[in-house]
Structure 1
Amino acid sequence: MTSRHAASNDLFYSSLNSLLNIPLPSLSWCSTEKAKAAVLTFLPILTWLPSYPVKQYLLSDVVSGLSTGVVQLPQGLAYAMLAAVPPVYGLYSSFYPVLLYTFFGTSRHISIGTFAVVSLMIGGVAVREAPDSMFILPANGSNMSDVVDVAARDAKRVQVAVVLTTLVGIIQFVFGLLRFGFVAIYLTEPLVRGFTTAAAVHVVVSQLKYLLGVKTPRFSGPLSVIFSVSAVVSDITSTNVTTLILGLVCLVFLYVIKDLNERFKKKLPIPIPGEIIVVIVSTGVSYGLLLSEDYSVGVVGKIPTGLLPPSLPDFSLLPSLVTDSFAIAIVGFSMGVSLAKIFALKHGYTVDGNQELIALGLCNFISSFFQTFAITCSMSRSLVQESTGGKTQIAGLLSSLVVLLVVVAIGFVFQPLPQTALAAIIMVNLLGMFKQFRDIPALWRTSKIELAIWLVAFVASVLLGLDYGLLVAVAFAIITVIYRTQSPKSAVLGHVSGTGLYCDVDEYEEAAEYEGIKIFHSNSSIYFANSDLYVNTLKEKVILTAVCVFMEYCTKCCALKSRINGHCRHNVFIPTGTERHVIK
């Protein structure tokens, strides 16, 4: 019976093959080799861990992992404030995703975890979906007070952040499976730099209230920067002087340490851990002087000990978060893959953009069931991981274990940590982004269009918010592409004697035309939108009586024929393939 079925199957496949005349794959296409290759692609750790050179790499990875973990800890606490969730969730987000990336990532040097821009975007959505006004506590029956139910508000914001992270993970994972890594090319360097500079403005504005110790609501959406600054200025007389002094001291100290690390990076075996010093010292001062009780200095507050059990996100929130999740997914991926490629180029290896999408997607999706918010890689931590000798993601794994130690054992120690110290950490980490303002004069000299992209990305993101600002910036960048193809640069080329070069005869005196031949060059393809301009330019530079052209697509030829015929005394022959023809 079995042989009869096998024979009928073979007959079916051979008949179908002969009918369609298409070579069908063998029934054994899913061979052991292909399955192994698929597994190795999906789990890159299996390609490098078996051959891990323990003697050469382990010590460097241990030093790098501990150094990065020391930086990861205060940044996790600080960036949770940007995400509008309690600080402990920043620690969760600094553990689970970092652990998972070790298995799925292809970069050896980037440090996965919390990142200011992504955290701020999440915080904006969380505040929009769970504003303070939804959690005002009633007083005296029907009367309302301005007291906010912080516990209920934070719980709701955590739910929003978790669902958002789940969606971000799904989008990134699906994009990776569909090989959509190319989407990052639409986020050009001027666009990304203008966008991140605007994000830095948003971050600094959001931290002013913690630095000054004033209690103002957090705003999101269009013009949120203006509303936030206005609220802080209107309440400036309520500044807590103790909070301000402590914050300024932390700011100055961190700036000096950052400058020393930069100046003496070749002499220092590892960077001075300024952030953890600030966290430890400010926590000790706050605890010893009772800053929270006696001086009303805002502190981190309760940090639960241990990890939370896995739980399902509140999927009822999905419909209102889809659009935001796309923006966060693309920004997170573009930041991660661009930095991964920089380190890969520096150290002579390659990264797979699509696998990076899959890795980030899995890190976000799986971690979201453990109450984390969306992550990507951090420039500052990645530089620490690389500069301290990190060779592989074993360093990242060890940095996550440093955070785990704090979560399960000593998290309560950081409960007196002043919020103003975390605000100082955030602000100093953004100095590199503010240096991007130097791009403006450089782009003015090199490319006005690139400058326009930078400015549109910056202004739109500052005024409209990061989500709408990103959409406007991408749309404008696409418009500039259309503009460039509609207004191509054209020239008549001449041969430079003694070389194989052909240059613009108007720009190079050495370039000479051949007698009786005009070589016309355009730096853009011909299509319906630029055919008129193309012909007008061709008409100016070349006498249209007999022109040799190469045509590939009929639509281009038809568009060109109808316009050239109006300027020539002879008809134009339309070619049907990619061949050399003469327009007569």
Structure 2
Amino acid sequence: MAQPQKTRPAASLLARAVPFASTVRDYRPAWLKRDLVGALTITALLIPEGMAYAELAGLPPTAAFYAAPAGLVLYGLFGSSRQLVVAVSAAVAVLSAATVGALAQAGSPRFVVLTAALALMAGLISLLAGVLRLGRVAQFFSASVLTGFVFGLALVIAIKQVPKLFGLEAGEGNFFERLWFLATHLGGTHLVTLLVGAGSLLVLLGLERVSERLPAALVVLALAIGVTALLGLDGRGVHVVGKVQAGLAAPRLPDVGWKDLLGLLPGACGIALVAFAEAIGPARMLAARHGYEVNASRELVGLGAANMGAGLFQGFSIGCSLSKSAANDAAGARTQVSSILAAVLTLLVALFLTPLFRLLPEATLGAIVVVAVSGMMDVREMRRLYRLRRADFIGAAVALVGVLALDVLPGLLLAVGVSLFLTVYRASVPRLSELGRAPGTLAFSDVRHSPRPLTVPGMLLLRPNEGIFFANATSLRDEVIERLRRAPGRVQAVLLDLEVTADLDVPGADMLVSLHDELARRGVTLEFARIMAPTRRMLDSTGVTAKVGEAHLHAQVLDAVVGHLTHSSSVTSEEHELLHDGLRRLRGLVEEADSMLDEKETADRQRLQELGQRLRRAESELEGPGGAPH
């Protein structure tokens, strides 16, 4: 009996470190058929897209066979999603090419080595972020800004591939410069290449309309190779992939120096961020669909391990593929076994079938990429942002235009900067709700959400709807003073309801002291209600409690209101009704609590009885002769 208890913690630790261990432990033989179908689907999509994306990364098409299997296996072992496919990503491939292209000539041996080193660095950064549990960092990268960045990135990818469809050399520079170069060189279009490219596009789009489960890219790849061989198109000026070396690369560390690593660092950070932002959404969507949870930090570990494996095998940086993940899920895959089987199938293709790709037209690879990235151009989401919130749309538009005008890496930095700016700006804008009493109740809520709210004469009730910290402290203070200035009558007290203020830092506490002093100069008292425990500790330790006074700290908003009206010099009939009703209900609650206490709880009983006596005295003081307000 003792042995299982000893092994259970070890098994739990292994499952946390390697989520695939729990999959193996609970695996059912009936799932194997579905996982195998998912693996075949992944492989059918991966081979053509992987070869195309390897060219996006500036490498020979065979580099996909070095990067993808390592990514599939290592993410399958360490990632927390059971259906997500991490193999090749157009966005990550372009970021890789842009980073390494600034340091080495594309196609050179140095370019290949730096690309592998970049994948290793991006993987290490992601792995460390996961170990340090920094998965929540993704919350600071605005989804709206990411939509614009990915849209722009898709256009950049497309403009680099479109010249292949016309048999033209690609231009240099940003998106607009490349577009202008293409437009001014259309006269040099190679007709046969255009027919191959256009035909590949039409067949791809047609097959996708026929069935989403059909591996359209693989079918087009096979047809293009067959037609090229049959008609001898390579001899008619159609550029083909050429000789493809079979086999696999041995794992090794790239031979690079510290200067190279420093040059790659910004791009590695960008790749780690984009790969994670690209993966976490689909991972959570698939998990919700199948009733399990994904861990953001665990996803960082899985992506990091996948990229480190791709770099060790002389591949390129990789990321999640939404299309292959969706196809894997649609095929019925139940676990990460589908990704591991897909890695095995991809290795078999690399070892025995690569010579078949010698006659693959470059125009067909370009068409495959253009169709693949067209799904990244989310026009519907951009329209939705424009319709719902212009600020989100502007953030997305700035990121989109930034990628087009500045190129990929500067565009990424701009997108990150816009996200941080929006975060800081929103944090710095004070969000205050003015509270009023709902007619016929003792509940105090936002006056904007209550029909005919009843405000408390002589008292301004405000609720900060967030933490009070350095970024918003000053603007919050200014907003309180402005609300006080706009108040219709003379205000004797300002009450801050701190119900949702769980975060109060030292600058925020200092601001409250400053606010107290400013209000005191105006003859206004500052009071607090519903203070959370961490906030109360900060108020005590920074001297705010001593400054404001314990008498002005209240358990409930109603306590503060009753105390204010009890000592008010003029009480209207409406105020009298509120006071009388409030005191009566409070006394009823106290008496009810008193009756429920155990006889042994004498201290609590004594405190409640004293509170009840005070409430009764307040009621009698409130009423004059005949029960009228005095």
**TM-score greater than 0.5 by the shorter chain:** yes
Instruction: Please point out which of 321, 334, 358 is paired with 1:391.
Output: 334
Which residue, 514, 538, 547 being the options, matches 2:494? 547
Aligned to 1:54: 29
Question: Residue 612 of structure 2 aligns with which residue?
Answer: none
Q: Does 1:347 align with 2:293?
A: no
1:138 corresponds to? none
Q: Alignment partner for residue 84 of structure 1, among 58, 63, 88?
A: 58
User: 2:438 aligned with 1:438, yes or no?
Assistant: no
CA distance in 1, matches of 2:383, 2:551: 45
Identical residues among aligned pairs (%): 27
Equivalent position SS for 1:58: helix
**Matched residue type, 1:278:** V
CA separation of 1:565 and 1:248: change in aligned 2, threshold 3 A: farther
What is the rounded CA distance, in whole Å, between the counterparts of 1:114 and 1:499 in structure 2?
A: 60
Residues 434 and 461 of structure 2 are in contact (CA less than 8 Å); yes or no, is this contact kept in structure 1? Answer: yes
Per the TM alignment, residue 98 of structure 1 is displaced from its structure 2 partner at its CA by 0.5
For 2:496, the aligned partner's letter is: V
Greater Cα shift, 235-244 or 465-474:
465-474
Decide which of 303, 307, 311 is 1:368's aligned counterpart: 311
The answer to whether residue 252 in structure 2 is matched with residue 306 in structure 1 is no
Tell me the amino acid that sits aligned with residue 65 of structure 1: A
Q: Does 1:581 align with 2:552?
A: yes
Paired with 1:481 and 1:548, the residues of 2 have a C-alpha distance of: 28
Superposition pairs for residues 205-224 of structure 1, below 5 Å? 205-217=159-171, 219=172, 224=174
- Shift in Å, 1:428: 0.9
Do the aligned residues in 2 keep the contact of 1:69 with 1:398 (CA within 8 Å)? Answer: no
1:76/1:93 contact within 8 Å kept: no
1:567–1:412 Cα change, 3 Å:
farther
Partner of residue 199, structure 1? 153
The 3-state SS of whatever aligns with 2:354 is helix
Matched, 1:170 2:124: yes
Secondary structure of 1:112's partner? coil
CA offsets per residue over residues 328-368 of structure 1, 9 Å max, x none? 11111121222211111111101111121112111211331
Which position in structure 2 is the counterpart of 1:142?
Answer: none
Distance in 2, Cα, partners of 1:499 & 1:399: 64
Aligned to 1:532: 478
Contact map agreement 2:146 2:415 (CA 8 A) in 1? no
Map 1:176-187; keep pairs closer than 5 Å.
176-187=130-141
How many equivalent residue pairs? 519
Aligned letter for 1:511?
P
Query: Which amino acid in the other structure matches residue 494 of structure 2?
Result: V
- The alignment partner of 2:45 has SS state of helix
**2:352 alignment partner in structure 1:** 409
Map of 1:246 onto structure 2: 196
What do the CA deviations read for 1:16-41 (whole angstroms, capped 9, x no partner)? xxxxxxxxxxxxxxx97655433221
Does the C-alpha gap of structure 1 residues 506 and 380 become closer, same or farther in structure 2, counting only changes over 3 Å?
closer
Alpha carbons 1:520, 1:538 under 8 Å: kept: no
**Greater CA radius of gyration, 1 or 2?**
2
Aligned to 2:250, the other structure's residue is in SS state coil
Summarize the alignment of residues 493-512 of structure 1 with structure 2, pairs less than 5 Å apart. Answer: 493-497=435-439, 502-506=444-448, 508-512=450-454
Return closer, same or farther for 1:530/1:517 CA change in 2, 3 Å cut-off: closer
The 3 A distance-change label for structure 1 pair 169 and 298 is same
**For residues 285 and 104 of structure 1, what CA distance do their matches in structure 2 show?**
42
Q: Relative to total residues, which structure has the larger helix share, 1 or 2?
A: 2
Residue in structure 2 matched with residue 463 of structure 1 by the alignment: 405
Give how far 1:504 is off.
Answer: 4.0
Q: Structure 1: how far apart are the matches of 2:440 and 2:456?
A: 14
Structure 1: tracts of 5 or more residues without a match: 1-30, 133-152, 263-270
> What's the C-alpha RMSD, in Å, of the aligned pairs?
2.6
Does the CA-based 8 Å contact 2:460-2:491 persist in structure 1?
no
Asked whether the 8 Å contact 2:462–2:496 carries over to 1, the reply is: no
- Which one-letter code corresponds to 2:282 in the other structure? L
- Label 1:308 to 1:506 Cα distance change in 2 as closer, same or farther (>3 A): closer
Whole-Å separation in 2 of the counterparts to 1:172 and 1:424: 32
Distance 1:356 1:524, change over 3 A: closer
**CA shift for structure 1 position 70:** 0.5
Per mean C-alpha deviation after superposition, the further-off stretch among 359-368 and 281-290 is 359-368
Classify the secondary structure of the residue corresponding to 1:54.
coil
Within 2, Cα distance between the matches of 1:238 and 1:102? 47
CA contact (8 A) 1:110 1:340 kept: yes
Partner of 2:238: 297
Find the counterpart in structure 2 of residue 492 from structure 1. 434
Letter in 1 for 2:121: L
Counterpart CA distance in 1 for 2:66 and 2:281 is 25
TM-score (norm 1): 0.83
Instruction: Say which SS state the counterpart of residue 345 (structure 2) adopts.
Output: helix
CA-CA distance at 1:156 after TM superposition: 2.7
The secondary structure found in structure 2 opposite 1:74 is helix
Deviation at 1:312, TM superposition (A): 2.2
Cα distance in structure 2, aligned partners of 1:321 and 1:540: 55
Task: Specify the code of the residue in structure 2 equivalent to 1:557.
Answer: L
TM-aligned CA deviation for residue 235 of structure 1: 2.6
Query: Which residue in the other structure is 1:113 paired with?
Result: 87
Distance 1:60 1:499 in 2: 59
